[in-house]
Chain A
Amino acid sequence: MFLKFWEIEVKLLRMSLDQLKKYENELARANKMRIVASEETGEVKEIDASFYYSKDPSYVKWYTDCLDYVPALQNGLPGLFFALLPYIKYADADDDFGGMYVIIDKCLKMRIATKLNISFSRVEHTIQEMTKSHILKRVCTGRYQVNACILGKGAWLDIKQVKNQFKDASETVSESSIETEAVVND
Chain B
Amino acid sequence: MIDKEPEYIKLFEPYTLPVEISPVLILCWKFMTYADPNQFAGGQLLLMSDTMKQLIARLAAVTVVDVDQYLIDFAKHDVFRRIDATLYQGNPYLFGKGSADAIAYTRYMYTHTFKEEVT
Contacts and interface: CB of A to CB of B under 8 A. Distances in A.
Interface of A: 1, 4-5, 8, 51-67, 70-71, 73-74, 78, 81-82, 85-86, 152, 156, 159-160, 180, 183-184
A67 B23 CA distance: 6
A159 B107 CA distance: 28
Contact of B13 (A53, A54, A59, A74): A59
B20 A59 contact: no
Interface of B: 3, 5-17, 20-23, 26-27, 29-30, 37, 55, 58-60, 95-96, 100-105, 107-108, 111-112
Contacts of B55: 183-184
A54 B29 contact: no
Given A70-B23, A74-B21, A56 B100 contact: yes
Contacts of B27: 67
Contact of B59 (A1, A57, A58, A183): A183
A65 B30 contact: yes
20 contacts: A1-B105, A5-B105, A8-B108, A53-B107, A56-B96, A56-B100, A56-B103, A59-B11, A61-B11, A62-B29, A63-B8, A64-B7, A65-B6, A65-B7, A67-B59, A73-B21, A78-B20, A85-B11, A86-B15, A156-B5
Contacts of B6: 63-65
Contact of B12 (A57, A65, A73, A180): A57
A54 B10 CA distance: 15
Contacts of A57: 12-13
A66 B3 CA distance: 17
Nearest to B17: A82
Interface centre among A54, A62, A71, A180 (most CB of B within 10 A): A62
